[in-house]
Structure 1
Amino acid sequence: MIAAAYATDFEQLIPALAEWLTEAERQTALSYSQPSRQQQFLAGRGLLRLLVARQWHCAGGAVAITRQENGAPQLTVGGLSWHCSISHTKGAVFVAASPQQVVGVDIEPIKPRRRLVEMATTYQQGFFAGIDGTDWPQFYQRWTLAEAVTKAEQGLLLRTLKQPLGDYPSRAMHLRVEDLMLCCYSAAPLTQAVHFQRFPFSD
């Protein structure tokens, strides 16, 4: 099972996450010089902890989020290592967690970006086969998939882009929210649909 959640309103989200953040996380957030980066860090950690506690009915104190040597988040629930992924962009955050399945997520604004198109053109024999910059939603479906795969495999984006697309799309789900594209990818085949929960959650 994979649980995923996203939020697009930090003014509402950050205050609501106060009880889901640790003092250590607040101190770490202060190490970032830009307020927007501080908010993104707090939003990712707090929303992930809230999601796990809500989905698996556990106390927030049982959910620990640390950082691996490569910078990726490490999720521990009740002393057991879980899988997780966090992605954020300006004013939006997307998180996912699973006890068993390796997962990667990405969230990107859908907007023309020449640099990304140039990269996609470079990798037409790899991950971006058949994709150009003429259909931006389609382009960002592929781009967020590449980012999510890279996070799940804890690899390098350029290495991912060089790979054949293969069956990667069959192990991913996308959601478009206004001008944002979200992707959730699992290293294992998805046995059930991933429900993208939007904060504030509805019962």
Structure 2
Amino acid sequence: MKTQPDEASIYLLSLRALNDVDLSAFLPWLSSSEVQRYQHFIRPERQQQFLAGRILLRQALSSLLGLPASELELTEQPGSAPRLNNPELTHAGFSLSHSGPWVACAVSATSKLGLDIELLNSGRDFSALALQAFNTDENAWLAQQDAGNRVRDFYQLWTTKEAQIKLNAASAQCMHFPHPELSVTLCSDTRFASPPQFLLSSLSAK
């Protein structure tokens, strides 16, 4: 599905149905800087997340640009998101995120984006984490929420802060998307004409 100029799309991929053989077929798509970073990861899970994320991003950008995904070149930037080597697309935005068996990316032709996803883990010490991660107002807001929704409210606040950091804008427009396993937040530097598309995806070698 093609992303319209004034819209954004979020692509979500589960790694559960993929194995190393499936993913290794996409290694030739990576740039030299991406290969170096891929090889730097020690844990197989992190290698899978990285490789799947870069291929998912290429597929999303392919839909946005109308170019073959395998021909899109990304360059790693230490401490930042990768750079798309396409000077004709200076206004486009994209963001990547991963958590457990899930990988996601968001793309827009006109807006800068910050995306964060997190697995909903009810076994964490939310009181201690909230005191470390959130300011006084945020902790006050969290304390006022219904106890039955404490896990989801905590992660909604968490993913909002992470998405804002990726976007580098505390006053961004942020949206939350329902998912049974995840907290999903997308922030942008502009308001969209229509809500972003939220798409479950697979990897394609085309």
Pair 1:54-2:54 in alignment: no
Instruction: Give, in angstroms, the shift of residue 185 of structure 1.
Output: 0.9
Counterpart for residue 124 of structure 1: 136
Deviation at 1:26, TM superposition (A): 4.0
Structure 2 unaligned residues grouped into runs of 5+: 1-6
How do 1:73-92 and structure 2 match up within 5 A? 73-77=82-86, 80-81=89-90, 82-92=92-102
Moved more, 178-187 or 42-51: 178-187
Amino acid at match of 1:22: L
Give TM-score scaled by structure 2 length: 0.76
Gaps of 5+ in 1: 161-166
Once residues 131 and 120 of structure 2 are traced to their aligned partners in structure 1, the CA distance between those partners, rounded to angstroms, is: 16
Identify the range of structure 1 (84-93 vs 54-63) with the bigger mean alpha-carbon deviation. Answer: 54-63
Shift of 1:42: 0.4
Is 1:108 aligned to 2:118, yes or no?
yes
CA distance, structure 1, for counterparts of residue 19 and residue 177 of structure 2: 20
Deviation digits for residues 94-128 of structure 1, max 9, x if unmatched? 101223201000010112432422235x5122x55
What residue number does 1:141 align with?
156
Once residues 74 and 194 of structure 1 are traced to their aligned partners in structure 2, the CA distance between those partners, rounded to angstroms, is 22
Superposition deviation, residue 30 in structure 1: 1.8
Question: What fraction of aligned residue pairs are identical, expressed as a percent?
Answer: 26
| Deviation at residue 17 of structure 1 after TM alignment | 8.1
Give deviations 1:28-80, integer Å, cap 9, x for gaps: 31221111111111011110001111243212244222223433222344653
- 2:198 maps to a residue whose letter is F
Paired residue type of 1:141: Q
CA deviations on 1:130-159 (whole Å, 9 max, x unpaired) are 114841112211211111011011x7xxxx
- The residue aligned with 1:183 is 185
Matched, 1:4 2:10: yes
Aligned positions, number: 186
The 1:116–1:65 alpha-carbon spacing in structure 2 relative to 1, beyond 3 Å, is: farther
**1:163 aligned residue:** none
Task: Label 1:192 to 1:69 Cα distance change in 2 as closer, same or farther (>3 A).
Answer: same
The residue correspondences of 1:38-53 to structure 2 (distance < 5 A) are: 38-53=47-62
Instruction: Report the Cα distance in structure 1 between the residues aligned to 2:175 and 2:9, rounded to whole angstroms.
Output: 12
TM-score by length of 1: 0.77
- C-alpha distance in structure 2 between counterparts of 1:140 and 1:93, whole Å: 17
Q: Is the 8 A contact 1:10 1:39 kept in 2?
A: no
